[in-house]
Amino acid sequence: PVSCVSRPDIMFVRRLSCQVATVSLLVHTHALRMPFARGSTVRMAASNAATLPKQETGISALLDAQPEADGRGTLVAVLDTGCDLAAAGLQETSDGRPKYVDFIDCTGGGDIDTSKKVKPAEDGTLEGLSGRTLKLGGWAEGVDEFRLGALRLYGLGSMPTSVLRRLKEERKAAFVMQHQAAVSAVQRELDGLADGAPKEAKRDLELRLEQYDAMMDGYTDHGPLLDVLLWRQQPSGVWQAVIDVDGEGDLSAAEPMAPYAHARQVGDMGHGSALTYCVQVYDEGERLSVVTDAGSHGTHVAGIVAANFALDSALNGVAPGAQVLACKIGDGRLGSAETGTGLVRALIAAKARGCDLINLSYGEPAWQHDSGRVAETFTAAVRKWGMCVFTSAGNDGPALSSLGSPGALSAPICVGAYVSPAMMAEQYSMLPVADVSGASYSFSSRGPTPDGFMPSLCAPGGAIAPVPRHALQGKAQYHGTSMSSPNACGVAACVLSALKQAGLSVGPIELRRALEKSARPIESEPFAQGAGLINAPAALAYALEHHGKPAQDLPFALSVPSRGGARGIYLRDAAELQGPLTFGVLVQPLFEHAATRTAAEVEELLSLELQLQLGPTAPWVTTPASMVLLSAKERGGQTFTVRLDPSTLPPGAHFAAVQAVDATDPARGPLFSLPITVVIPHAISPPPPLGALTPAQLETAGDETAAPPALSFPLTLQGGVPVRRFISVPESAEWAKVTLRSGRMANGPHAVLLHAVPSARGDLPNTACQTKRMLQLRELSEEVVQLPVRGGATLELCMQLSWLANPAPATLDAEVEFHSYGARGRAMHAPTTRIGSADAFARIEVGAPLRTERLAPEAELTAAERALRPSSSTITAGSAELDVLPPSDAELRAAADAPGEQIHSMLLQYSFDVAPEGDAKEQPVLARVQSLHEQLYDAPLDSMLWRLDDANGQTLQYGGAMHDAAETKLKKGSYSISVLLRHPDRAQLTALKELPLLLRMPLPMPLDCVVHGGRGAASKGGHGGHEAVAEGWVRRGGHKDLYVCKPTTELPKWVSAGDVLTGHVALDKGSKEATKLPLAFEAPPAPVKKAEAADDDGDEEDEEVVGAALDEEAMACAKEARLVQEDVDELERSVFRARLQRLRALR
């Protein structure tokens, strides 16, 4: 069953960087059984530092001046996919300490139930859970009780997907080789039979060949089932574990393993996997955690931070002296995506082990930035627990407002990705170009968030660094903000190392202030780089000069109450620039004190009095000259006013900041800043009024002279430099057609990234509405892209030329043309067109407010959705070792025995049946907790995970909160789904005891829904000669009513009343993606079966007699009805003749 420990999320890390090149490397060969040789190294030719960039950030200069300021004395928690404990360069620090202090699986994906206890037999054997007889070794002497467990090597999450795929391929290849040899031997024997050989002998050989063919056809590889033994060694009390990695039962030569931190023992999963593991033990031996990595990403990140190659320092990471705590927060059962459980547990573990720094190179879209249970825990890690967190900005640029979480959280340091000319040449073998500058990578996510927040700084975003042994190569080149964050974290480790050696204790707020205030701007716009490129020597100098000054370690929260508490000012739409542009700003010093303040904490509040100079960085911003900032606890903060005058600004994005500088010490730089972004859109001409059109224009369907003109503009693209156009979208527009035309290209084709973000207002993540295309533009070519827009908003079209294949400049002509049916309104997500269970149709009003539009409707239903209620719910306390949030440092200062906060878990159970229809043997099913879907960092709960089991208890699939799992094909039978929810407040879980679960089941074939042009036809379901709406045009200013009918074909038998069939209505099936609206049909109750004739005695002969009698009676009734109709017809003819004679008489 799902335990109250972690059960993570789904899909591969959205910000996981892409591998674009590899470097082969000779690695010290290790035996299948560990421990590995410590300090093993590799040797390769001297490498330029740009392969793992250190010159760009000044680390090389810092270490030249202070060689021992290489991170030694610092501990970095790497929250990632986990790490290969045997990877080259990650064995020892530069001063000889173990590189890894521990490796923890925070997801629970490697947990094994070891609650069953057994005693060994007198002959030194016992029966494992696999059914094998296990032969014990000398290590079992004196042990009178063992705990049993089992591990399926191919089980969900037991190993990285790439390793699993490789092992299956290799094992099948070995099987095929043996199979072919066996078949060949039998065939030779069959060929050697004499002509007079007995028929039985020939038939026996032919049957053997048939059996071999059947074996090959039915080949499946479930992987070996490995037995696990766990016991507590006496008298030391240290837990010991043995895994039968060979799967043969002979453990006599096995080497017992203790939890990693005890003796740093590492094993290999065998079977050619090259997958290393360690063990951890929890809950007094009830659970054994077998810890492996879930992919190569975490080892690569750890290598960037802290790799140490003793024989060639050019290969080192940024901080080779730093130690690493490896925290696995990506669960292999779920595609190695992060989960709330993994993240929260990792932060708890980092605090428990005294980490100075944390790196998280993961991220997801978010609906509410700086909000949610996981976000709150990251804030606590920085402000309450005293750890400095670095996180990647995300790989969703280059358009503005593409930051996700946790990059958009206030507490962590958000790091964008920078690429230098040297990196371009050495990591990517870029073609020579006369003039290329360093810049942000195109993929690096940009600010501001919808509430105005910006990234913190940037660092090199590509590196050639170590990867796990199971990748079968020593190093790899990855790029992404996943690489920039650990580079910055490594820089911070070196700066912190130097400060510690100078005898200074610097907390996360003071360290962040030093890094940001010393960063070096490298671009004209700050949206990707924040304060600029991180600068190690300057950061150290700043920290040394200003350490201990008033409020140097005090964070401030800035908000704009009139804009919903936004963390900055972000004006983007034309309507926002028309009203008053004066804003009040609230400033709150963020003291971290105990619940009952100590005398020292009270004095800290009373003594805060900062004389601040306020000043803008741009002339279009006006602020007061100064303010005196106090603790302002009584009033909840202090305010000042900002006035904006963007009237003189040209079209484009403009950034400024309001900075608060200590008037007595301006050299410290601003103690806080308010970011301000104003976008001045490019205007587009309004459509001409209908009265201004000529009769010919009005009569001509599709005549574009009757429409507003398209917006055209030239573009000149330079390699690595984004070009932005901001366009005011007409109020009624629903989508746009963007056309790019290329001219002459002397240097060959170009790759151009088009990134369109239709709006930055509201809480809709940019990923839910944006359009991204990598276009290959050839000489004199044309590319057309259709994309959604929001009426009245400002659309950003961002285009960036790739410098990788062809960095030479390029010129393009762009054209933007807006379209609308007036059916969606200003919402980015159209409301669902719903056909009720008792309805025959749904009505849609369409028009053409901007230009004549093609109308070719098509409607279909593609899936059925069913809601389930839980059959049971159970709430338990989480693990005492993993799931207790520590008290704040302030609480511990006030009381050393201050308690932590227990996280609770609730397990919900759901049941359902599957009955595929017709010839189908399987029914695809997708499960989703709809109300918590697509929320992770901003989720109201710590975590959510579901697990799908069949009737035999076999686990078939896992899924989480952020992404949909793959559809699971289920055979006929009963199934159950367990949903695990976590939250510190038990009452919050109790309120969700009836949480519905959604099942989505694709239909075997789409069901067509006919679209009619009139209510009468729709009411009759098209009967009586009414045809569906044909392809045609809606003239500009015209109107058309559409009636989408319920499906005419029979629903699948497994569809039940209450199920909702979903699909879409495309108003133009030729432009389906741009014009489709969601469609839903509520399944009605099944037809009532007509009563059948009763059979009193069940005798078949009587049934035939009764049937014959009923047939005769029916024929008699039909004959009588026909005679009656003939009489009626004759009477009508007589009346007609009589009336005709009367008329003749009148004439």
| Catalytic positions | 80, 297, 482
Alpha carbon distances (Å) from 962 to 138, 182, 207, 546: 48, 49, 52, 42
HEC profile of 958-970: EEECCCCCCCEEE
The reply to whether omega before 526 is within 30° of 0 (cis) is no
Burial class for 800, CB neighbours closer than 10 Å (0-12, 13-18, 19+): buried
Other CB atoms within 10 A of residue 1098 CB: 7
Alpha helices by DSSP H, listed for 927-1063, are: 986-990, 1015-1019
- From CA 1085, how far away is CA 488, in angstroms rounded? 61
Helix H or strand E encompassing 125: strand 125-127
Q: Is the dihedral of CA 778, 781, 787, 791 positive or negative?
A: positive
Helix H or strand E encompassing 495: helix 481-501
Q: Which residues contact 716 (CB under 8 A, 6 or more apart)?
A: 723, 809, 810, 811
The answer to whether 1048 and 1054 have CB atoms below 8 angstroms apart is no
Pairing of strands 475-479, 462-466: antiparallel
Other CB atoms within 10 A of residue 112 CB: 21
- From CA 290, how far away is CA 151, in angstroms rounded? 9
Exposed e or buried b per residue across 217-252, where buried means at least 16 C-beta atoms within 10 angstroms of its C-beta: eeeeeebbbbbbbbbbeeeeeebbbbbbbebebebe
For residue 797, give the nearest of 752, 848, 846, 733 by alpha carbon. Answer: 752
Pairing of strands 413-419, 457-460: parallel
Of the CA atoms within 13 Å of residue 524, those in its CB half-sphere come to: 7
For residue 150, give the nearest of 242, 216, 47, 219 by alpha carbon. Answer: 242
DSSP state of 97: -
What strands, in cross-sheet order, belong to the sheet with 794-801? Answer: 723-728, 794-801, 750-757, 771-777
Residue 733 is encoded by which pair of tokens?
């527009």
Q: Is the dihedral of CA 137, 141, 143, 144 positive or negative?
A: positive
The answer to whether 301 and 359 have CB atoms below 8 angstroms apart is yes
Q: Which residues contact 1101 (CB under 8 A, 6 or more apart)?
A: none
Residue 24 is encoded by which pair of tokens?
């082969």
Other CB atoms within 10 A of residue 617 CB: 13
Residue 840 is encoded by which pair of tokens?
């025959």
What long-range pairs does 428-432 form, CB within 8 A, spacing at least 24? Answer: 428/20, 428/21, 428/462, 428/804, 429/21, 430/803, 430/804, 430/807, 431/805, 431/806, 431/807
Q: Please state at what angle helix 508-517 crosses helix 373-383, rounded to 10 degrees.
A: 90
- From CA 362, how far away is CA 936, in angstroms rounded? 12
Other CB atoms within 10 A of residue 598 CB: 14
Pairing of strands 923-928, 330-331: unpaired
DSSP state of 563: G
Pairing of strands 955-960, 943-950: antiparallel
